[in-house]
């Protein structure tokens, strides 16, 4: 098929953070991009609204920044963690050099539209209320046929490449060769959230564990305009609580902290789990963001990986278009899989490990007890939780020796307490 008869070089399905970033980058590289979005803006997305500082780099690569997109966001500087046994520790997000790495908090209803409009300004053809129903690969002509519903009309568009950025429920992820490995237990995590009035000045992210919530936590994220984003999330587990259980744990834990009277009903969503062996490309198609399962298995954050994977997919698509190689086993699309594994692999593996450790309430109590008595340790722990320090920091011998030293000193203090005051 001749290039002139394509409707676009790349069709991007979904204008969330992953799709808009891919579309912006491809348009900046001079490609014809159709960015199809099922909803119309402004549209909400169930989220904790946390924009991590690590978004700065991929955003600047597509010609924008956190200051431009989220200049009016609230900022929070650290994390307060309360364990199920009510041990409480607070620390500040700092990088290795000791610099503050604050989070920005901006409702997705604002952030997503701003990023999509940026993609439009870069030259992508953004079409809202366009729902992609089907993507079929024509092997002979080496082109995708994309069936799109817009109100009552249905049209077919042709493009050699499709980037599926349509979120956690992506049905294109089920296309042949792209489903999750059969023996994988990397299912979905579940989260519910709502907004409450929060006039307090305290600007930290608060996390609450609970004995009834074996693998998960409740959160409170102070946002702009005197509101806070509050919610509960539970990791993928064989004995997942029901929605009613989750809401009652949420009311018990967060209700102690803020007044929940009159807050809007909780909205729920699924968070896909990443899997390093998962296939994310097939002929003429790449999966990005939640559609590929790129959500941090420990914190549930996925906007930064959505934007970064959008960029990586855009680079691969650019090379595919230059070389005319659109098949999954050819170098350009294969390079995308290599690139995301390199970029996210360590974080995903360690995130999964932290998720398991989080399950161990006694260990959590110990870590938070040390943190409650040692602010350096508290900053280190909260900075790892807050993505300000790389996850690999936990491998540092200095950190291990600090854990052992503080454990020994705690044990000494316990023994002294048990043997009573000196005569």
Residue 22 tokens read as 């891919």
Nearest to 149 by CA among 166, 131, 173, 129: 131
Pick from 18, 70, 178, 230 the residue near ligand FAD by CB under 6 A: 18
Count of positions on this chain that bind ligand FAD (CB under 6 A): 37
Q: Which residues pair with 20 in a beta bridge?
A: none
Query: Which residue in 35, 303, 350, 389 binds ligand FAD (CB under 6 A)?
Result: 303
Give residues 179-198 in contact with ligand FAD (rule: CB under 6 A). Answer: 191, 193
Q: Of 206, 283, 290, 380, which one interacts with ligand FAD (CB under 6 A)?
A: 290
Establish if 295 lies at the interface with ligand FAD (CB under 6 A): yes
What is the closest distance, in whole angstroms, from the C-beta atom of residue 361 to ligand FAD in the complex?
23
Stretch near ligand FAD under the rule CB under 6 A, chosen from 15-23, 117-125, 152-160, 316-324: 15-23
Min dist CB 241 to ligand FAD, Å, is 15
Sole window of 45-53, 150-158, 279-287, 383-391 interacting with ligand FAD (rule: CB under 6 A):
45-53
Cis before 42? omega within 30: yes
Question: What's phi and psi for 190, nearest 5 deg?
Answer: -120, 140
CB-CB neighbours of 385 under 10 Å: 21
382 binds ligand FAD (CB under 6 A): no
148 near 132, Cβ under 8 Å?
yes
Q: Nearest-CA neighbor of 361 among 193, 238, 210?
A: 210
Q: Report the distance separating Cα 54 and Cα 51, nearest Å.
A: 8
Q: Does 62 bind ligand FAD (CB under 6 A)?
A: no
Q: Does 17 bind ligand FAD (CB under 6 A)?
A: yes
List the one residue from 144, 166, 194, 317 that touches ligand FAD (CB under 6 A). Answer: 166
Nearest-CA neighbor of 17 among 304, 225, 261?
Answer: 304
CB-based contact 2:24 (threshold 8 Å): no
Tell me which of 131, 237, 330, 410 binds ligand FAD, using CB under 6 A.
131
Question: Using the rule CB under 6 A, is 230 a contact of ligand FAD?
Answer: no
Q: Is residue 46 part of the contact set for ligand FAD (CB under 6 A)?
A: yes
Candidates 82-90, 164-172, 278-286, 332-340; binding stretch for ligand FAD (CB under 6 A): 164-172
Instruction: Rank residues 48 and 386 by Cβ distance to ligand FAD and give the closer one.
Output: 48
Pairwise CA distance, residues 82 & 377, whole Å: 16
Nearest CB to ligand FAD, comparing residues 126 and 165: 165
Backbone angles phi, psi at 13, to 5 degrees: -100, 110
CA dist., res. 183 & res. 374, Å (int): 43
CA 37 from chain center: how many Å? Answer: 20
Nearer to ligand FAD, 260 or 403 (CB): 260
Q: Which segment (290-298, 315-323, 362-370, 378-386) binds ligand FAD by CB under 6 A?
A: 290-298
Q: Which of 6, 16, 124, 377 binds ligand FAD (CB under 6 A)?
A: 16
Strands 153-159 and 143-150: antiparallel
74-76, strands of its sheet edge to edge: 50-51, 103-105, 74-76
C-beta separation of 73 from 51 below 8 A: yes
Q: Which of 269, 336, 354, 377 binds ligand FAD (CB under 6 A)?
A: 269
Among 9, 25, 49, 236, interactor with ligand FAD by CB under 6 A = 49
Instruction: Tell me: cis bond preceding 94? Omega within 30 of 0 counts.
Output: no
For binding to ligand FAD (CB under 6 A), which residues are involved?
Answer: 13-19, 36-39, 45-50, 131-132, 165-167, 191, 193, 231, 269, 271, 289-291, 295, 300-304, 306
């Amino acid at each position: 098929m001749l290039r002139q008869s394509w409707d676009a070089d790349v069709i991007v399905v979904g204008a969330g953070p992953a799709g808009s970033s891919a579309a912006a980058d491809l348009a900046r590289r001079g490609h014809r991009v159709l960015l199809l979005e099922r909803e119309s803006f402004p549209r909400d997305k169930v989220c904790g609204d946390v924009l991590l500082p690590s978004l700065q780099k991929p955003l600047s690569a597509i010609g924008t920044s956190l200051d431009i997109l989220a200049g009016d966001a609230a900022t929070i500087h650290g994390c307060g963690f309360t364990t199920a046994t009510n041990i409480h520790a607070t620390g500040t997000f700092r990088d290795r050099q000791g610099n503050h790495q604050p989070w920005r908090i901006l409702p997705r209803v604002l952030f997503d539209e701003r990023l999509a409009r940026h993609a439009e300004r870069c030259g992508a053809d953004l079409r809202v209320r366009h729902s992609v129903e089907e993507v079929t690969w024509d092997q002979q002509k080496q082109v995708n046929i994309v069936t799109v519903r817009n109100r009552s009309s249905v049209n077919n568009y042709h493009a050699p490449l499709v980037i599926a950025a349509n979120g956690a429920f992506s049905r294109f992820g089920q296309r042949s060769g792209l489903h999750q490995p059969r023996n994988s237990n990397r299912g979905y995590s579940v989260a519910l959230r709502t907004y409450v009035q929060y006039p307090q000045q305290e600007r930290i992210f608060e996390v609450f564990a609970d004995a009834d919530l074996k693998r998960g936590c409740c959160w409170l994220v102070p946002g702009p305009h005197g509101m806070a984003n509050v919610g509960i999330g539970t990791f993928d587990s064989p004995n997942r609580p029901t929605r009613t259980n989750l809401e009652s744990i949420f009311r018990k834990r967060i209700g102690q902290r803020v007044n929940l009277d009159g807050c809007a009903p909780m909205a729920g969503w699924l968070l896909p789990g990443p899997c390093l062996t998962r296939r994310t490309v097939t002929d003429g198609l790449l999966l990005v963001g939640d559609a590929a399962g790129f959500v941090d298995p420990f914190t549930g954050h996925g906007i930064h990986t959505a934007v970064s994977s959008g960029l990586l997919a855009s680079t691969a698509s650019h090379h595919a278009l230059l070389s005319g190689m659109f098949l999954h086993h050819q170098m350009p699309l294969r390079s995308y899989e290599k690139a995301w594994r390199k970029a996210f692999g360590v974080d995903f593996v360690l995130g999964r490990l932290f998720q398991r450790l989080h399950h161990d309430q006694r260990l959590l109590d110990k870590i938070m007890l040390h943190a409650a008595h040692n602010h350096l340790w508290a900053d280190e722990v909260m900075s790892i939780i807050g993505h300000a320090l790389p996850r690999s920091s936990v491998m540092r011998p200095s950190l291990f020796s600090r854990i052992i030293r503080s454990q020994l000193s705690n044990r000494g203090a316990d023994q002294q307490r048990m043997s009573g005051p000196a005569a």
